[in-house]
Amino acid sequence: MDAIVNKRSTKPARERQNGIDRAIEILDALLRTHTPTTVGDLAKQIGAPRSTLYSITNRLIEAGILEQVGDEGTVYFGQTAHLYGRAYADANPLHRRCREALDRLAMQTAATAQLCALRGNKYVVVDTRDGTGVFRITTDIGVEVPIPWTASGRLLLDHMSAAEIMDFIPDEDFQLPDGRLVEANDFVADIARARAEGSCITNGLSDPFTCCLAAPIRDRRGIAVATLCFVVPVDSAPERKRGLLNRLVESAQELSDRPVSSR
C-alpha cells in the first residue's frame, strides 16, 4: 500500500498533517479511485486517523465540495466541486478553444477525441468526446496514467533531455499493464521521433485493442502543454488513421501559440 506518497511535491510524510493537506489527500484519493468511498476507506488509503477524516469530510460536505452518495456512508465530489471546475474551464481561453476543437473533431470523425495533459509526473485525460461507433472507447477523466503507456505522453515530454525524462518518470511506470517493459532508450527515441514528426501513434500499447493518435498543443516557447488525441480500434484502416492524424495535427496547430522568434 503506497499510502502517503505525495506525488507533486516530495514532502516528508510528517506524523502530523495539516488539515488542508489532508483535505487535498481526500480529494485526490477520490479522483484516483473514481468512485464514491466510505470515510473509513479513505482513512485507510491515505493513512490518516478516522476521526480527522470525519471532521474534514463533514466540513467539505457542508461546503458542497463533497456529497454523501446514496443512503449509506460513501462520499464523492459534490456540486460545488462541479461549479469550481466549470469556472476554470470557462475562464481558461485555451481550454475553451480546445473544447470546441474536440466537439468538431468528434462530430466530424465519430471517433473518441480527447484533450490530454500532464498532472505531476502522470498523464491524465482532461476532457473527452466519446465516439459514436460500436467500439465506444471511453476513458475516465482525471485518472492518472503512467506517461510511458501513452502516445500523448511522448509528445508532452519532448522538451526534456534524456536525463530529465528518466529523472521525471518513476521507474515502475515503464512497466505496461500487461507486464511488458518499455525500454528507456526506446522511450527516449520515441520522444525524439514524435518531436520530429509533430505527432505520435501507438498501436496496442496500454491496451491491445486500441490505437492512439496524438498531436501536441504548444505554448509560445514551443513546450507541449497539452495534446489532442484520437482513440480508435487498433485494426482501423491505415488511411483512416492517417486522415485522423492529419485533422489532429491541423487542429492542434491552430490551438498552439505562435512561437516566439528567438531572442
Partner DNA sequence: TCATTTTGTCCTTTATAGTGGACATTGTTC
Partner DNA sequence: GAACAATGTCCACTATAAAGGACAAAATGA
Residues within the interface to its own copies (CB under 8 A): 1-2, 6-9, 18-21, 23-24, 27-28, 30-31, 34-36, 56, 59-60, 62-65, 67-71, 76-91, 95, 117, 119, 124, 126-127, 140-142, 261-263
65 binds DNA (CB under 7 A): no
198 binds, among its own copies, DNA, none (CB under 5 to 8 A by kind): none
Helix 39-46 × helix 50-62 angle, to 10°: 120
Count CB atoms within 10 A of the CB of residue 167: 10
Cell of 232: 480508435
Residue 204 binds which entry of its own copies, DNA, none, CB below 5-8 Å type-dependent: none
Q: Which of 126, 116, 102, 198 is nearest to 150 (CA)?
A: 116
Say which entry of DNA, its own copies, none residue 58 contacts (CB below 5 to 8 A, set by partner kind). Answer: DNA
- In whole angstroms, how close is the CB of 205 to its own copies at the nearest point? 23
Taking CB under 7 A as the rule, does residue 263 contact DNA?
A: no
Interface with DNA, residue 127, by CB under 7 A: no
Stretch near DNA under the rule CB under 7 A, chosen from 39-47, 84-92, 134-142, 210-218: 39-47
Task: Report yes or no: 117 and 225 within 8 Å, Cβ to Cβ.
Answer: yes
Give the strands of the sheet with 37-38, arranged side by side: 37-38, 74-77, 66-69
Rounded distance between C-alpha atoms, residue 104 and residue 251, angstroms: 9
Q: Give the interface segment with DNA, choosing from 17-25, 76-84, 175-183, 240-248 (CB under 7 A).
A: 17-25
Minimum gap (Å) between residue 60 Cβ and DNA: 11
Across 43-177, the runs of DSSP E, i.e. the strands, are 66-69, 74-77, 112-119, 122-129, 145-146
Q: Torsions phi, psi of 198, nearest 5?
A: 75, 20
CA–CA distance, 214 with 152 (Å, rounded to integer): 5
Taking CB under 7 A as the rule, which mask of x and - marks residues 18-37 in contact with DNA? xxx-x---------------
Task: List residues near DNA by CB under 7 A.
Answer: 14-20, 22, 38-41, 48-52, 54-56, 58, 72-73
